[in-house]
């Protein structure tokens, strides 16, 4: 969660129009004096859901993972996999593949997840941030809701400015994608004109 939120806020700091749209959407759904969104309200925020998914596409907290074949199998491309073989997949690389995401695959573009303003889910095999199939993460929905609650709480009350916004995140090696040196940020309470 910490890794996902760190890169989420780095992306938002570099895309002020996205921040504005998240704020506009939350203002339409939530009362101005409401501190936290309800579960029902979070479900109404399609743009926020798209922003979270786009952030996870580009910066998945677990950048690669592997499984062992339980039996002989053939992958969709025709590759034979013998029982017991370790198969590694790389959500970080998959999130940047032109063959999956198109020529703008390196761009942070939450709109790719929307159709007529509504969130349009894609195959979890295309973006296996939470794995897919029978091995899908049991905590997926909880993680997404928690991430959106934190994102809204920060975006609605604060402006986040990154010390070096032009520098792409560098990661320390490990199971989860932790930013090397952390993320130096300045956080200021928003001044909202009444």
Listed residue (175, 180, 189) closest to 6, CA to CA: 180
105 known member of a binding site: no
- In this predicted structure, what is the pLDDT of residue 194? 63
Q: What is the residue-level pLDDT of the chain in tens, covering all 194 positions? A: 788 999 999 999 999 999 999 999 999 999 988 989 999 999 999 999 999 999 999 999 988 888 899 999 998 889 999 999 999 989 999 999 999 999 999 999 999 999 999 999 999 989 999 988 888 889 999 999 999 999 999 999 999 998 876 777 787 877 788 888 888 888 999 987 66
- In this predicted structure, what is the pLDDT of residue 183? 84
- In this predicted structure, what is the pLDDT of residue 26? 96
Residues with Cβ within 8 Å of residue 150, at least 6 apart in sequence:
1, 5
Supply the angle between the helices 140-157 and 46-58 in degrees, to the nearest 10. 110
- In this predicted structure, what is the pLDDT of residue 152? 95
Architecture of the domain spanning 2-189: Orthogonal Bundle (1.10)
- In this predicted structure, what is the pLDDT of residue 57? 97
Listed residue (146, 112, 141) closest to 129, CA to CA: 141
Residues with Cβ within 8 Å of residue 78, at least 6 apart in sequence:
none
Is the pTM higher than 0.75? yes
Put residue 104 in one of left, alpha, beta given phi > 0 → left and psi -120 to 50 → alpha. Answer: alpha
Biggest CA pair distance of the chain: 65
* Domain boundary assignment for the chain: 2-189
CB burial of residue 185 (10 Å; 0-12, 13-18, 19+): middle
């Amino acid at each position: 969660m910490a890794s996902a939120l760190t890169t989420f806020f780095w992306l938002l700091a570099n895309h002020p129009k996205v921040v504005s749209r998240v704020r506009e959407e939350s203002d339409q759904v939530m009362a101005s004096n409401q501190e936290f969104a309800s579960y029902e309200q979070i479900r109404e925020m399609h743009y926020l859901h798209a922003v979270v998914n786009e952030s996870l596409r580009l910066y998945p907290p677990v950048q690669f993972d592997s499984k062992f074949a339980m039996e002989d199998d053939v992958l969709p491309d025709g590759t034979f996999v013998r029982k017991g073989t370790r198969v590694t997949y790389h959500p970080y690389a998959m999130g940047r593949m032109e063959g999956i995401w198109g020529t703008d695959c390196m761009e942070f573009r939450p709109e790719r997840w929307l159709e007529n303003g509504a969130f349009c889910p894609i195959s979890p095999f295309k973006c296996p941030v939470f794995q897919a199939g029978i091995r899908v993460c049991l905590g997926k929905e909880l993680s997404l809701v928690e991430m959106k609650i934190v994102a809204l709480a920060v975006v609605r009350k604060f402006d986040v400015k990154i010390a070096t916004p032009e520098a792409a995140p560098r990661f320390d090696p490990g199971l989860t994608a932790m930013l090397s040196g952390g993320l130096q940020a300045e956080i200021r309470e928003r001044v909202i004109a009444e």
